[in-house]
Structure 1
Amino acid sequence: MIIEELSLLSHKNVAYKKGEVIYSPGQQPRFVYFISRGQVRMVTVNGDGKEFIQGIFKKNQYFGEPAMLLSKPYLAYTIATEDTSLILLEREQFLSLLENNREFSVEVITTLSKRLFYKSMMLEELANEHADHRLRTLITYLCKELKPDEVLPVTRQALADMSGLRVETVIRLIKKMSKTGEIKLLRGKIVKQ
């Protein structure tokens, strides 16, 4: 769905500054959020304050639909990782869009399926005690969407937060994987081979 078309459906365009929380766990959902500019991360936080990244959403992507569709409270924080503009669609608008736009409905099903696959894969990996296997699987998964020689747009801290590892462990493993040729680095960034 093109963001310009969504602007016509909704009168709710909201800007968030970097670091601003969009919603928190326990809040009741009211909208599906479409990103017209910026980036958002979805995180859960454990009792020690450590973040675990559930997802990163960029321009032309959306989030918040599972909780809204199920009328269940949010389970995670969503935080703007840079200055971000969102188009907010209320439940009725979103459901109407699903009902009247087959192409969009298929896109939503595909997106939800990809997210479910990712969560299942990560759950299996988190149960694996071998940090190198866990990180290798995550990097391989994230690189699938990239073109050859395209840079993986994820920091080492984000990789740590996504895999449940310490950033120092991620840095050490990336160096090791680069030396063995498992991954390619360009100016310190991981690139798809």
Structure 2
Amino acid sequence: MDIQKLIEMGCPVRKYPKDSIVYEPGSQPKNIFFVKTGEVRMVTVNDDGKEFIQGIFKTGQYFGEPALLVDKPYLAFTIVSKPSEIVTVSKKNFINLIKTDAEYSMSLIKVLSNRLFYKSMMLEELANEKAEHRLLTIINYLFNDNPNGESLSVTRQDLADLTGLRVETVIREVKNMADKNLIIVKRGKIYKT
């Protein structure tokens, strides 16, 4: 979806500082959100305060549509990871886009299907107790989502939050995977072999 088109439709753009919350679990969806610039993470938080990342949304991506489509409260926090500009699209405008823009509708189906695939993959991985396997699966998934061959722009903490592992385990396993030539690590960044 062309974000400029949304702005021309009159959808407001709001600036969010790092660590601000876009929406919280339990709140009723009224909008979906397109990231014009920046990055947002969707997380659930356990009773001990540990975050589990459900998704990361970057420039050009959007979030919040599943809850809006099924008219159910949000299940997770969305927290701004980097200072961001976010375009807010009302439910009425969003439904109108789906009805009138076939290309956008097909794109939405693909996005939702990819997210469903990711959730299914992660459920299977969380059942697997081997940390290396979990990490390799998420790293390969993230590389497939980033086909330019660039390094992954995730921290060790992000990998821990994505896999349900401890940061110390991630650090150790990333080093072990690099030693086994399963990944390349240069200056702390992860590259595909």
TM-score tier after normalising by the smaller chain length: over 0.9
Unaligned runs of 5+ in 2: none
**Partner deviation per Cα, 1:17-52 (whole Å, 9 max, x = no partner):** 100011000000010101111110000001111000
After TM superposition, the structure 1 = structure 2 runs for residues 34-113 of structure 1, keeping only pairs within 5 Å, are 34-113=34-113
Q: 2:43 touches 2:76 (CA, 8 Å); kept in 1?
A: yes
> Gaps (5+ residues) in structure 1?
none
| Equivalent-residue separation in structure 1 for 2:82 and 2:172 (angstroms) | 28
Following the alignment from structure 1 to structure 2, what is the Cα–Cα distance between the partners of residues 93 and 149? 36
* Bigger mean CA deviation after superposition, 169-178 or 181-190: 181-190
Contact 2:143 2:149 in 1 (8 A): no
The equivalent residue for 1:132 is: 132
Q: Which residue of 2 aligns with 1:144?
A: 144
The one-letter code matched in structure 2 to 1:82 is: K
Cα displacement (A) at 1:79: 0.5
Look up the SS of the partner of 2:159 in the other structure: helix
Q: Secondary structure at the match of 1:15?
A: strand
Distance 1:148 1:10 in 2: 33
Q: CA shift at 1:147, angstroms?
A: 3.4
Moved over 4 A (4+): none
Checking the alignment, whether the CA contact within 8 Å between 2:40 and 2:80 is kept in structure 1 is: yes
Deviation at 1:124, TM superposition (A): 0.6
CA RMSD of aligned residues (A): 1.0
Please give the secondary structure, in 1, of the residue aligned with 2:82: coil
The letter of the residue matching 1:167 is V
* TM-score after normalising by structure 1: 0.97
Q: Following the alignment from structure 2 to structure 1, what is the Cα–Cα distance between the partners of residues 146 and 75?
A: 29
Question: How many residues are aligned here?
Answer: 193
Secondary structure of the structure 2 residue equivalent to 1:72? coil
C-alpha distance in structure 2 between counterparts of 1:190 and 1:144, whole Å: 14
Q: Tell me if the contact between 1:10 and 1:89 (Cα under 8 Å) persists in the aligned partners.
A: no
* SS of aligned partner of 1:36: strand
**Separation (CA, whole Å) in 2 of partners of 1:59 and 1:13:** 13
Letter in 2 for 1:69: L
Question: Counterpart amino acid of 2:192?
Answer: K
Question: How far did 1:148 drift?
Answer: 5.8
- Matched-pair contact (CA < 8 Å) for 2:157–2:167: yes
